[in-house]
Amino acid sequence: MKTVRLLLLGFGVIGRGFAKVLIEKSDYIKKKHGIELKVVGVGEYNGCLVDEKGVDLKAALDLREKGKWLDMLPQWKKITTKEMIDKVQADIAVEVVPSDIKTGEPGAGLIEAALKKGLHVASSDKCAMAHRFSELMNLAKKQDKWLLFESSAGGGMPLMNLARECIQADEVKSMEGILNGTTNYILTKMSKGGMDLETALREAQELGYAEADPTYDVEGIDAAAKTVILANDIMGMNKKFSDVKIMGIRGVTKEAVQLAKKNGYVIKLIAEVNSSGLSVGPKLVPENHPLNIESNLNAVMFKTDIGRDVVIIGRGAGGRETQSAIFSDVIRICRDL
Amino acid sequence: MEDCKIEIKLEDKPGALSHVLDIIAKNSGNLFSINHIRERKKEGSVPVVIQFQATEPDFSKIVFDFEKHGIEITEKRIGGAEETQLTQEFILIGHVIDTDIKDTIYSVCDKDVMVKSLDISLKGLKEPSSVFAEIGAKNSKSLGIAMKKLEETAKRKNLLLITGIQT
């Protein structure tokens, strides 16, 4: 049995989701992969939980569910996450902090610190990767460490893994897809339920599919960050967030959606990567097209030179669904340790 | 000037044909022949085949005006053959009518590009309206130029342009 030490950088929705799935799947991972995953540090914005024998994740989760702070636990230390990275011996940093879409921080700085310390990194941070993709990838290469970020674009869908592990000889010529579940839910409700955008958005918020401030989703910013990551990682581009032509769905009316429907189309917020560049915007999609998926699902179509069209459909977000991709990255790294 | 042919379903009532011919004349069409196919009369409407000469932009205007006035076109040809091979659908959202819909739609038309269909949804006077349209082009270069022109016009008039996915 191989024991692998993890630092969990962030204990928000994704961080707590990681802890829950680790508790649930620990025995399964040991049995299937011969790996014992041990979290030796959890970084929060105001301090860290540190224990070389393994942080008590259940106690931390119980506290947070009661709305209490982690500083009540004996393993709590008043140090910054960067100090924890520097001081605590570990193998992999699981970086799941919520970063700023405009700067990529604090996630990008934490990934940089972890790589410089000699840790491998599994990150779910689209903001960090969209802003400093090339720089961080070059650093990982220089340090000879893994930097994997499957969950940063497409949540639970294995997109980068698919391109890296499965489509070996194919060249991906273009990609198009739905990378934001919130807008897909809204547009589905406008098409099938005849709702206007504001009503569909309110319903999405009530169901927890949309944030209280849905700006990043509705304006296409979230999808644009993911588009940069996929273009760079899968198609070997060197694009930045500012290279994406972005148009959100704010201007899409109920009447336009119904006109599209009458003529055999649906309107979807589509991310495109092709020889013309990177874009995110509302598009007409034929009703019988594979990207006409409903509710809050995501879907991506790769167009390759050998296998031609490959379509992946799945859950693009969610505290639990995203863990499928994070654990995939962590276990992939463990194989090389 | 090109040879043009349009087949319509004409309401079988006095004055209906006159209205159709007025549209052709107003848009500088030069009428050749009118053929009522009375044996195919169905549910109060008679198929009518009209042959005339017109430039391609005028042909597009005639088609547009027919559709605007609710005249159902069942077939249309220009230059003696099916007029287009490539099509592109799009939606425009915004103050499409107030910003001169004819100017917007015709901005894409030239000798190789024409509007094949239009579907308009109007809300209140101050509310944005929506237009679903299909344009046809003889080749991909013409279609590309037309869509670029449309993009520029939509941007200038502050209209949201939604085009089709690249299938």
Task: Looking at the structure, tell me whether residues A121 and A25 fall in a common domain.
Answer: yes
Task: Looking at the structure, tell me whether residues B37 and B67 fall in a common domain.
Answer: yes
CATH code for the domain of B155: 3.30.70.560
**Which of B118, B123, B130, B134 to mutate: most A Cβ within 10 Å?**
B130
Last-in-domain residue among B78, B105, B121: B78
Task: Supply the range of the domain harboring residue A21.
Answer: 2-155+319-335
Task: Tell me, yes or no, if A272 comes closer than 8 A to chain B by beta carbon.
Answer: yes
Marked catalytic residue, from A117, A126, A189, A226: A226
Q: Identify the helix (H) or strand (E) that includes residue B149.
A: helix B140-156
Work out whether the CA dihedral B126, B128, B130, B131 comes out positive or negative: positive
Residue A162: inside a domain, yes or no? no
Nearest-10 Cα torsion for A285, A125, A4, A63: -110
- Tell me: the pLDDT tens digits for A167-211? 888 899 999 999 999 999 999 999 998 999 999 999 988 887 777
Residue A90: inside a domain, yes or no? yes
**Nearest CB to A270; choose among B90, B130, B165:** B165
What token pair was written down for A22? 């680790």
Q: What is the pLDDT along chain B (167 residues), one digit of tens a residue?
A: 888 889 898 888 888 888 899 999 999 999 877 877 776 677 778 888 898 899 988 998 999 899 888 888 888 888 765 555 688 999 999 999 889 988 898 888 887 888 888 899 887 778 899 999 988 888 888 889 999 999 999 999 999 999 999 76
What is the C-alpha radius of gyration for chain B, rounded to an integer number of angstroms? 17
Q: Do residues B60 and B115 make contact, with C-beta atoms less than 8 angstroms apart?
A: yes
**Nearest CB to A256; choose among B91, B163, B164:** B91
Count up the domains in chain B and report the number: 2
The per-residue pLDDT for A267 is 98
Task: Tell me, yes or no, if A289 comes closer than 8 A to chain B by beta carbon.
Answer: yes
Task: Looking at the structure, tell me whether residues A29 and A68 fall in a common domain.
Answer: yes
- Measured between beta carbons, the chain B residues lying within 8 angstroms of A253 are 93, 123, 128, 130
CATH code for the domain of B34: 3.30.70.260
Q: Note the pTM of the prediction, 2 decimals.
A: 0.79
What is the ipTM, given to two decimal places? 0.84
Whole-angstrom distance, CA of residue A239 vs CA of residue A227: 10
**Nearest CB to B165; choose among A247, A263, A283:** A283
User: Would you call A259 and B119 a contact, using CB atoms and an 8 Å cutoff?
Assistant: yes
Task: Looking at the structure, tell me whether residues A177 and A309 fall in a common domain.
Answer: yes
**Which of A258, A274, A284, A285 to mutate: most B Cβ within 10 Å?**
A284
CATH code for the domain of A177: 3.30.360.10
CA distances to A68, A250, A280, B13 from A225, rounded to whole Å, are 33, 18, 10, 60
Q: Identify the helix (H) or strand (E) that includes residue B125.
A: none
Task: Looking at the structure, tell me whether residues A133 and A173 fall in a common domain.
Answer: no
Last-in-domain residue among B46, B78, B110: B78
Task: Looking at the structure, tell me whether residues B99 and B153 fall in a common domain.
Answer: yes
**What is the arrangement of strands in the sheet containing A297-304, beginning at the earlier edge strand?**
A244-246, A277-286, A265-274, A172-178, A297-304, A309-315
Task: Supply the range of the domain harboring residue B153.
Answer: 86-163
Residues near A201 by Cβ (< 8 Å), separated by ≥ 6? A186, A210, A214, A218
- Measured between beta carbons, the chain B residues lying within 8 angstroms of A289 are 165, 167
User: Would you call B165 and A258 a contact, using CB atoms and an 8 Å cutoff?
Assistant: no
Nearest-10 Cα torsion for A257, A262, A265, A267: 0
Give the residue from chain B lying closest to A265, CA to CA: B164
Q: For residue A190, how many other CB atoms are within 10 A of its CB?
A: 27
The per-residue pLDDT for B85 is 66
Task: Looking at the structure, tell me whether residues A281 and A298 fall in a common domain.
Answer: yes
Task: Looking at the structure, tell me whether residues A141 and A176 fall in a common domain.
Answer: no
Indicate if the pLDDT at residue A51 is higher than 90.
yes
Residue A263: inside a domain, yes or no? yes
Interface of B with A in 48-107 (CB under 8 A): 89-91, 93-94
Task: Tell me, yes or no, if B128 comes closer than 8 A to chain A by beta carbon.
Answer: yes
Task: Looking at the structure, tell me whether residues A207 and A306 fall in a common domain.
Answer: yes
Task: Looking at the structure, tell me whether residues A74 and A143 fall in a common domain.
Answer: yes
Task: Tell me, yes or no, if B140 comes closer than 8 A to chain A by beta carbon.
Answer: no
Task: Looking at the structure, tell me whether residues B57 and B91 fall in a common domain.
Answer: no
Indicate if the pLDDT at residue A234 is higher than 60.
yes
Q: Is position A226 annotated as part of the catalytic site?
A: yes
Q: Do residues A4 and A40 make contact, with C-beta atoms less than 8 angstroms apart?
A: no
Indicate if the pLDDT at residue A11 is higher than 90.
yes
Last-in-domain residue among B36, B55, B78: B78
The per-residue pLDDT for B2 is 85
Using DSSP's 3-state secondary structure scheme, residue B109 falls into coil
Task: Tell me, yes or no, if A3 comes closer than 8 A to chain B by beta carbon.
Answer: no
Task: Looking at the structure, tell me whether residues B60 and B34 fall in a common domain.
Answer: yes
Residue A161: inside a domain, yes or no? no
Bridge partners for B5 per DSSP: B51, B77
Task: Tell me, yes or no, if B132 comes closer than 8 A to chain A by beta carbon.
Answer: yes
Indicate if the pLDDT at residue A143 is higher than 80.
yes
- Measured between beta carbons, the chain B residues lying within 8 angstroms of A272 are 165-166
Task: Looking at the structure, tell me whether residues A293 and A242 fall in a common domain.
Answer: yes
Task: Looking at the structure, tell me whether residues A145 and A207 fall in a common domain.
Answer: no
Task: Looking at the structure, tell me whether residues B71 and B108 fall in a common domain.
Answer: no
Residues near A39 by Cβ (< 8 Å), separated by ≥ 6? A6, A7, A8, A19, A22, A54, A55, A57
Task: Looking at the structure, tell me whether residues B49 and B92 fall in a common domain.
Answer: no
**Which of B162, B163, B166, B167 to mutate: most A Cβ within 10 Å?**
B162
Task: Looking at the structure, tell me whether residues B100 and B61 fall in a common domain.
Answer: no
- Tell me: the pLDDT tens digits for A67-100? 998 999 999 999 999 999 999 999 999 999 999 9
CATH code for the domain of A328: 3.40.50.720
Task: Looking at the structure, tell me whether residues A124 and A230 fall in a common domain.
Answer: no
User: Would you call B91 and A260 a contact, using CB atoms and an 8 Å cutoff?
Assistant: yes
Task: Looking at the structure, tell me whether residues A234 and A273 fall in a common domain.
Answer: yes
Residue A100: inside a domain, yes or no? yes
Residue A163: inside a domain, yes or no? no
Count up the domains in chain A and report the number: 2
Task: Looking at the structure, tell me whether residues B56 and B90 fall in a common domain.
Answer: no
Residues near A70 by Cβ (< 8 Å), separated by ≥ 6? A11, A42, A44, A47, A49, A60, A63, A64, A76
